[in-house]
Amino acid sequence: MKNRIILVALLLVGFIAANAQGPQRRTIEERVKTIHEKMDSAFKPAAEKLTEIDAIFTDYYKASDKAREELMAGGARPDRDAMMAKMEPITTERDTKLKKVLGEDQFKKWKDEIEPSMRPQRRQQ
Protein backbone atom coordinates (compact mmCIF):
# COMPACT_ATOMS: atom_id res chain seq x y z
CA MET A 1 0.00 0.00 0.00
CA LYS A 2 2.83 2.38 0.87
CA ASN A 3 4.47 1.67 -2.47
CA ARG A 4 1.31 2.62 -4.36
CA ILE A 5 0.97 5.90 -2.48
CA ILE A 6 4.60 6.75 -3.19
CA LEU A 7 4.16 5.82 -6.86
CA VAL A 8 1.05 7.97 -7.21
CA ALA A 9 2.80 10.88 -5.47
CA LEU A 10 5.80 10.59 -7.83
CA LEU A 11 3.56 10.49 -10.88
CA LEU A 12 1.67 13.54 -9.65
CA VAL A 13 4.90 15.47 -9.05
CA GLY A 14 6.17 14.47 -12.50
CA PHE A 15 2.95 15.57 -14.15
CA ILE A 16 2.98 18.93 -12.38
CA ALA A 17 6.64 19.51 -13.27
CA ALA A 18 6.03 18.70 -16.93
CA ASN A 19 3.09 21.10 -17.18
CA ALA A 20 4.76 23.89 -15.22
CA GLN A 21 7.05 24.65 -18.16
CA GLY A 22 4.11 25.81 -20.24
CA PRO A 23 3.52 25.13 -23.92
CA GLN A 24 6.65 24.49 -25.96
CA ARG A 25 7.15 26.41 -29.20
CA ARG A 26 7.01 24.32 -32.33
CA THR A 27 10.10 24.21 -34.54
CA ILE A 28 10.30 26.10 -37.83
CA GLU A 29 10.08 22.80 -39.71
CA GLU A 30 6.89 21.83 -37.88
CA ARG A 31 5.28 25.19 -38.58
CA VAL A 32 6.28 25.07 -42.27
CA LYS A 33 4.92 21.53 -42.54
CA THR A 34 1.56 22.71 -41.20
CA ILE A 35 1.44 25.54 -43.75
CA HIS A 36 2.52 23.12 -46.49
CA GLU A 37 -0.38 20.79 -45.69
CA LYS A 38 -2.92 23.64 -45.54
CA MET A 39 -1.75 25.12 -48.85
CA ASP A 40 -1.63 21.74 -50.53
CA SER A 41 -5.16 20.86 -49.48
CA ALA A 42 -6.57 24.30 -50.31
CA PHE A 43 -4.91 25.02 -53.67
CA LYS A 44 -3.23 21.82 -54.91
CA PRO A 45 -0.26 23.81 -56.28
CA ALA A 46 2.49 22.25 -58.36
CA ALA A 47 5.48 20.82 -56.51
CA GLU A 48 7.75 23.72 -57.47
CA LYS A 49 5.20 26.22 -56.14
CA LEU A 50 4.97 24.29 -52.87
CA THR A 51 8.76 24.39 -52.61
CA GLU A 52 8.67 28.18 -53.10
CA ILE A 53 5.93 28.53 -50.49
CA ASP A 54 7.94 26.42 -48.04
CA ALA A 55 10.99 28.64 -48.61
CA ILE A 56 8.93 31.80 -48.10
CA PHE A 57 7.56 30.53 -44.81
CA THR A 58 10.92 29.20 -43.64
CA ASP A 59 12.42 32.67 -44.17
CA TYR A 60 9.40 34.28 -42.50
CA TYR A 61 9.55 32.08 -39.40
CA LYS A 62 13.33 32.52 -39.07
CA ALA A 63 12.97 36.31 -39.29
CA SER A 64 10.04 36.41 -36.87
CA ASP A 65 11.84 34.19 -34.35
CA LYS A 66 14.91 36.43 -34.59
CA ALA A 67 12.76 39.55 -34.05
CA ARG A 68 11.06 37.90 -31.06
CA GLU A 69 14.43 36.97 -29.55
CA GLU A 70 15.69 40.54 -29.99
CA LEU A 71 12.65 41.92 -28.20
CA MET A 72 12.87 39.35 -25.42
CA ALA A 73 16.62 39.93 -24.92
CA GLY A 74 15.88 42.81 -22.57
CA GLY A 75 14.52 40.35 -20.04
CA ALA A 76 11.08 41.91 -19.72
CA ARG A 77 8.18 40.87 -21.87
CA PRO A 78 7.82 43.38 -24.74
CA ASP A 79 4.55 45.20 -25.18
CA ARG A 80 2.17 44.24 -27.96
CA ASP A 81 2.74 47.45 -29.96
CA ALA A 82 6.51 46.95 -30.07
CA MET A 83 6.03 43.36 -31.22
CA MET A 84 3.54 44.38 -33.91
CA ALA A 85 5.83 47.16 -35.17
CA LYS A 86 8.75 44.72 -35.40
CA MET A 87 6.66 42.05 -37.17
CA GLU A 88 4.90 44.29 -39.72
CA PRO A 89 7.78 44.57 -42.25
CA ILE A 90 8.48 40.84 -41.96
CA THR A 91 4.83 39.99 -42.61
CA THR A 92 4.58 42.50 -45.47
CA GLU A 93 7.62 40.95 -47.17
CA ARG A 94 6.12 37.46 -46.77
CA ASP A 95 2.80 38.61 -48.22
CA THR A 96 4.48 40.27 -51.21
CA LYS A 97 6.36 37.07 -52.05
CA LEU A 98 3.25 34.93 -51.52
CA LYS A 99 1.15 37.13 -53.79
CA LYS A 100 3.65 36.53 -56.62
CA VAL A 101 3.54 32.76 -56.14
CA LEU A 102 -0.18 32.30 -55.47
CA GLY A 103 -1.83 34.93 -57.61
CA GLU A 104 -4.54 37.35 -56.53
CA ASP A 105 -7.47 34.96 -55.97
CA GLN A 106 -5.52 32.34 -54.03
CA PHE A 107 -3.76 35.03 -52.00
CA LYS A 108 -7.14 36.51 -51.02
CA LYS A 109 -8.29 33.07 -49.88
CA TRP A 110 -5.06 32.68 -47.91
CA LYS A 111 -5.55 36.03 -46.12
CA ASP A 112 -9.28 35.60 -45.49
CA GLU A 113 -9.57 31.92 -44.61
CA ILE A 114 -6.32 30.04 -44.10
CA GLU A 115 -4.12 32.57 -42.29
CA PRO A 116 -6.68 33.29 -39.55
CA SER A 117 -6.97 29.56 -38.88
CA MET A 118 -3.19 29.35 -38.37
CA ARG A 119 -3.09 31.80 -35.47
CA PRO A 120 -2.77 30.16 -32.08
CA GLN A 121 -5.98 30.31 -30.09
CA ARG A 122 -5.81 31.35 -26.48
CA ARG A 123 -7.26 28.95 -24.00
CA GLN A 124 -10.40 29.96 -22.16
CA GLN A 125 -9.82 30.14 -18.42
Q: Is the dihedral of CA 68, 69, 71, 72 positive or negative?
A: positive
Confidence band of 97 (pLDDT split at 50, 70, 90): very high
pLDDT tens-place string over residues 52-78: 999 999 999 999 999 888 888 877 777
Comparing CA positions, the residue from 90, 27, 31, 39 lying closest to residue 60 is 90
Amino acid at site 107: F
What pLDDT digit, counting tens, does each position of 86-96 carry? 899 999 999 99
Q: Region 97-103: what's the mean pLDDT?
A: 92
pLDDT of residue 116: 86
Alpha carbons within 13 A on the beta-carbon side of 18? 6
Going from N- to C-terminal start, the domains of the chain cover 23-118
How many Cβ atoms from other residues are within 10 Å of residue 50's Cβ? 17
pLDDT of residue 22 exceeding 60: no
3-state secondary structure of 77: coil
